[in-house]
Structure 1
Amino acid sequence: MGARRIAGMVAGVLSAGAVAAAITVFNLPVAGESPGSAASTPVATVEIAKLTLVDRESHDGTLGHGDTTSVLSRGSGTVTGLPAEGATVTRGKAIFRLDDKPVTLLYGSLPAYRTLSTGVKGADVKQFERNLRALGYRGFTVDGTYSWATASAVRDWQDDLGLTRTGTVDPGQIVYATGAVRVDSLTAQVGTVVGPGAVVEKVTGTSPMATVRLDTSSGRLARRGATVRVTLPDGKVVPGKIIKVATFVSQGENGEADTTGIKVTIGFTSKVKSRGAAAVTVAFTAGKRPNVLAVPVAALLALAEGGYGVQIVDGSLTRVVGVETGLFADGKVEITGNGLQAGMKVAVPS
């Protein structure tokens, strides 16, 4: 998957041939000659600017909602209700129904793994009690101990759900996720008979994300926390941040060797809408040079004796100054040279 440079962006020092169309051959004056000479004022000039140059490298990506997670049935029975694909399920709502009883989504990182009943203590109890309180039930303390007061609140919760008021929580009654989920796809259908461990549906988070698969040669771009620019399907460019970097292996076909790549997940720092997978372009920062002097690439002069220069314009006087080039980006080039300062005017082709 080859990288595409944004128009005008070239990393490092360009050869004269690569920018020949933008550079005029010019002889640098011999040292000791008069520093200025009278000439007609060039048709166009620009000021030498002091700025931060950012070189970006673009890669194709996909807009979606991140990786999917499988929702498993913990019990046996017939699937009698399912949410629609693309639907959002929040805390306290049924993520599916088994034998016409809701399996309820709760928030937390610890999966349900045992029956909760009076006397049980632990982090899973505290996680469940937090959810019970968030759903509006009271009369108990969120302390990690499943007390008679917790059981009483559970009976009220079960009654509201249309379940038998047992006061205990079977792990098959609940599913935990770190937050609200979006239903990505349905694996089962209403009427499917399932057993413990059967995949009922696959879900994602609700926040849109972009993913990009990079070759290992582009691994330098994949820095967690780095900012990127994402061009959406409608052409709008929005900021993003790399939130996850993971290595993946693609199996080779027809005897070819497996290949290793890097999967980059990008979150957005502004509101982005996504209704399903769509193609995007992600511009990574490949190089950055803060507080440098820069001119448009078209201002460079390719000197006959080698190297580059710029033509300084000072009223009716002009002179050529040899320069060293640095980073090329956004149609500009970093320059250093004797006596150059921000605000000086240089000639550019009209």
Structure 2
Amino acid sequence: MGDIAVDSVRGQDSDQESEAARTSVPEPAPRRRKGRRRVMKAALAVLVLVAGGAVAVATLGPLGRGSGDKAATELPPSTAEVTRRTLQDTQSVDGQLGFGPATTLSARRPGTVTEAPEAGDRITRGKALYEADGRPVTLMYGSTPAYRALKTGSEGADVRQLERNLSALGYSGFTVDDEYTATTAEAVRAWQEDLGLPETGTVELGSVVFAPGAVRVDSVAARKGDTVAPGGKVLSYTGTDQAVTAELDPADQQLAKEGRDVEVVLPGDRTVKGTVKDVSTVIEPGNGQGEEAKTKIEVVVALGDAAARKAAEAYALAAVHVDFTSETREDVLTVPVGALLALAEGGFGVEVVKGSTSTYVPVTTGLFADGRVEISGKGISEGTKVGAPK
């Protein structure tokens, strides 16, 4: 390349350079803070470069005047090699290991609680979540909530859902479809007889609760002997599989797409795989005293494989970190962020060191991640030595 007029601010006593290196380069951030959005990382890198004084900033004149070589006595205090690697822009957020968000179960009919579960109990299909006035409220599996009584002549997806559960519980003589026929009613009467209920052939509203699968009782609001009214909270439940719940700002919602792979950092810095299972928007109302409502993106992460689930079993509840990867650059040339120099004409460069001389070379920067930056430029290749702070 052509000559470069150099006004270097590294020409200080070596002891001064060492002291500057110690005072101007910030300590590495704690692990959980490593995930900032790329624009934040770039801004931080620029701030370090500007504030780094003799360690990180060289002001270069216009390109094209002289060789740009420097005498050996002006070499940088240290060097680093250009290496080829994969960079990932990762945002890390706090999370809670548990069993995912809890769902509230409210009474649909009045009565006195005659049997109630304990927090931590697991309940499967066909078992009672609780009893009111001696009548069980039974768990069945399905995505459509119970919203009406089901009887002969009823049609719809909720009928199919009920019939699928009756079949799974061993009752037969009907076709699993959207129609509640006389044969469906016969199967319901057989089910009611087994539960000790009046054999009406009709599934009354409030006698069945549909959930996606088996549930774990998270908390109990109505104990044995308590009176409940329609709409009153009885208990809350979660799924039975451990999961991580984390919150993102709305601006970061694009990081959490259902099915996207993430990493979960357990206590002790054990990292396991996870997958985004559910993403929902949660609005926290204000306090009515001028505080505005807040919007958060709630993310539920399922533990990815058997090894991850086994590792998490040691913790019933625990604070964890979730690492979301927003961008990946594979097989790119990288240097430590501190090796970048701010150029007078704009942009960045590096100080290429060859033997007893060095030359300032402009570079194009790419992704900033994990204390390194992707670079490219004329004369930049794997193994090239560049100036770096001590």
**Shorter-chain TM-score: what band?**
0.7 to 0.9
2:246 corresponds in structure 1 to 212
2:369 corresponds in structure 1 to 329
Q: 1:318/1:149 Cα in 2 relative to 1: closer, same or farther (>3 Å)?
A: farther
SS of the aligned residue for 2:42 comes to: coil
Q: 1:329/1:122 Cα in 2 relative to 1: closer, same or farther (>3 Å)?
A: closer
1:278 corresponds in structure 2 to 318
Q: Give the Cα separation in 2 of the matches to 1:114 and 1:247.
A: 28
**Do residues 144 (structure 1) and 178 (structure 2) align?**
yes
1:6 corresponds in structure 2 to 34
Q: Give the Cα separation in 1 of the matches to 2:316 and 2:108.
A: 29
Q: Give the Cα separation in 2 of the matches to 1:57 and 1:65.
A: 23
Q: Deviations over 1:171-193 (max 9, x none)?
A: 23211112222211111000112
SS of the aligned residue for 2:163 comes to: helix
Q: How do residues 298-337 of structure 1 correspond to structure 2 at under 5 angstroms?
A: 298-300=338-340, 307-312=348-353, 319-320=358-359, 321-337=361-377
Q: Give the Cα separation in 1 of the matches to 2:81 and 2:266.
A: 33
The count of residues paired between Structure 1 and Structure 2 equals: 342
2:50 corresponds in structure 1 to 17
Of the three residues 284, 287, 294, the one matched with 2:334 is: 294
Q: Give the Cα separation in 2 of the matches to 1:167 and 1:305.
A: 84
Q: 1:18/1:183 Cα in 2 relative to 1: closer, same or farther (>3 Å)?
A: farther
Alpha-carbon contact 2:88-2:327 (below 8 Å) kept: yes
Matched to 1:322, the amino acid is: P
Q: How do residues 122-271 of structure 1 correspond to structure 2 at under 5 angstroms?
A: 122-216=156-250, 218-219=251-252, 222-225=255-258, 226-242=260-276, 243-252=278-287, 255-268=289-302, 269-270=304-305, 271=308
Richer in strand (by share): 1
SS of the aligned residue for 1:11 comes to: helix
Alpha-carbon contact 2:35-2:323 (below 8 Å) kept: no
Of the three residues 89, 92, 97, the one matched with 2:131 is: 97
Q: 1:234/1:257 Cα in 2 relative to 1: closer, same or farther (>3 Å)?
A: same
SS of the aligned residue for 2:206 comes to: helix
Alpha-carbon contact 2:334-2:373 (below 8 Å) kept: yes
Give the deviation of 1:89 after TM superposition.
Answer: 1.5
TM-score by length of 2: 0.72
Q: Using the aligned pairs only, state the percent identity.
A: 42
Alpha-carbon contact 2:255-2:325 (below 8 Å) kept: no
Alpha-carbon contact 2:106-2:230 (below 8 Å) kept: yes
Give the deviation of 1:92 after TM superposition.
Answer: 1.0
Give the deviation of 1:333 after TM superposition.
Answer: 1.2
Give the deviation of 1:281 after TM superposition.
Answer: 2.3
Give the deviation of 1:248 after TM superposition.
Answer: 1.7
Q: 1:215/1:128 Cα in 2 relative to 1: closer, same or farther (>3 Å)?
A: closer
Richer in helix (by share): 2
Give the deviation of 1:277 after TM superposition.
Answer: 4.6
Alpha-carbon contact 2:350-2:387 (below 8 Å) kept: no
SS of the aligned residue for 1:12 comes to: helix
Of 10-19 and 100-109, more deviation after overlay is shown by 10-19
Specify every segment of 5 or more residues in structure 1 that has no aligned partner in the other structure, as ranges.
Answer: none
Structure with the larger RCO, 1 or 2 (CA within 8 Å, 6+ apart): 1
SS of the aligned residue for 2:41 comes to: coil
Give the deviation of 1:298 after TM superposition.
Answer: 4.7
Q: Deviations over 1:31-66 (max 9, x none)?
A: 6539899999x98753431x4422223332323333
Q: 1:287/1:140 Cα in 2 relative to 1: closer, same or farther (>3 Å)?
A: closer
Q: Deviations over 1:227-258 (max 9, x none)?
A: 433322343223334430414234147x4431
Alpha-carbon contact 1:48-1:346 (below 8 Å) kept: no
Alpha-carbon contact 2:245-2:301 (below 8 Å) kept: no
1:53 corresponds in structure 2 to 87
Alpha-carbon contact 2:50-2:56 (below 8 Å) kept: no
Matched to 2:284, the amino acid is: V
| RMSD of Structure 2 on Structure 1 (CA) | 3.8
Give the deviation of 1:266 after TM superposition.
Answer: 3.0
Alpha-carbon contact 1:7-1:331 (below 8 Å) kept: no
Of the three residues 151, 155, 159, the one matched with 1:121 is: 155
Specify every segment of 5 or more residues in structure 2 that has no aligned partner in the other structure, as ranges.
Answer: 1-30
Give the deviation of 1:262 after TM superposition.
Answer: 1.9
Matched to 1:337, the amino acid is: G
Alpha-carbon contact 1:66-1:265 (below 8 Å) kept: no
Q: 1:75/1:303 Cα in 2 relative to 1: closer, same or farther (>3 Å)?
A: closer
